[in-house]
Amino acid sequence: MPRERSSAMALSLLYQDEWIVAVNKPAGLLVHRSWLDKAETRFAMQMTRDLMGGRHVYPVHRLDRPTSGVLLFALDPTVARALTEAFAARQVHKEYLALVRGWAPAQGVIDYPLKEQLDKIADAMSDPDRPAQDAVTTFRRLHQVELPYAVSKKHPTSRYSLVKLFPKTGRKHQLRRHMDHLFHPIVGDTTHGDGRHNRFFREHYGCERLLLVAHTLSFNHPILKVPMRIRAPLGQDVLALFAALGWPASESDY
C-alpha cells in the first residue's frame, strides 16, 4: 500500500493544559524515532513538542503507525508516571472505530491471548519463547453494507461492517489481530488483513490507509482529578468514505 509521507501530514491539537497534551495523529506517522524506519525524519512526539514551543513531552501510550486518532502525552515526568500506571492498570477507557470485511456480529467479546510479535531489530533482546498474553476486546457493530462488487471470486457481492472496538488490554497490534482472528480483518491492514479488499478500497474509493481510528480516550485527570474524555475527529476523507457506503457522514453521528 502506498504510504503517505509524514512531511505532508498535519498533526492537530485536541487538548492542552499545564500537565497533559493530546493530539490527533494522522495515519502513517510514527509516534517516535524507530530503528524500523531510519529514513523517517518526522515523528508525532517531535511535532507535538514543536506545537508546545519546544517544551519536552513524555509519551504515555502508543498507536501503531497506520492508526490515526487520539495520542496523549504528559508535560511532566510525575504526570507521565501516573498516566502510564493508569494505562497499565486498565483505568483508561479506549474506543476505536474500524471498517472491517464481512458482516460482523452485532456485538461480542474477543478473549484470545496473543503471542508477542517481535521485530527483528527493535525487539532483538526480547524472549521469543514468552507465552501468549491475555488479550480482551469487546465490540459493537454500528453499520453494515453489501456492495455489488465481486471482490472475492467466491461471492458475487462484498460485505463490510463498521464496528466500535473497546480494547481491555493493550497488546501489540491487538485490534488488528483480534479482528483477523474473528475473520473480519480491518480494511487497509497490509499485515493482518485481506489484500483483495485492501486493493478494492484503494482502487474504488482512493483509500490508501488502515481504516482504524483511535476515536476516544476517557480517564481521570491525574492532577485535576476530574473525568476527561478526549475525542479525535474522523476527518473529511473518512466521513466521505462512510457517505459513499451509505452510512451517516457527520462527526456527530459517531
Residue 7 has pLDDT above 50, yes or no: no
The DSSP annotation for 116-156 comes to: PP--TTTTTTS-TTPPPBP-EEEEEEEEEEEES--SSTT-S
The residue with greater pLDDT, 39 or 59, is 59
Rounded Cα–Cα distance for residues 141 and 217 (Å): 19
Let me know how many helices (H) and strands (E) the chain has, helices first: 5, 10
Neighbours of 86 (CB within 10 A): 16
CATH class of 8-246: alpha beta
The reply to whether 180 belongs to the active site is no
> Which pLDDT does position 130 carry in this prediction?
75
Residue 229 has pLDDT above 70, yes or no: yes
Read off the pLDDT of residues 78-120 as tens digits, 9 standing for 90 and up: 999 999 999 999 999 999 999 999 999 999 999 999 998 755 5
Residue 39 has pLDDT above 90, yes or no: no
Q: What is the DSSP letter of 253?
A: G
The model carries a pTM of: 0.90
> Which pLDDT does position 51 carry in this prediction?
93
Is the CB of residue 26 less than 8 Å from the CB of residue 11? yes
Sequence length of the chain is 254
- ∠ CA(161), CA(164), CA(167), 5° rounding? 130
Read off the pLDDT of residues 159-176 as tens digits, 9 standing for 90 and up: 999 999 999 999 999 999
**Residue of 37, 64, 194, 237 marked catalytic:** 64
> Which pLDDT does position 10 carry in this prediction?
84
> Which pLDDT does position 3 carry in this prediction?
41
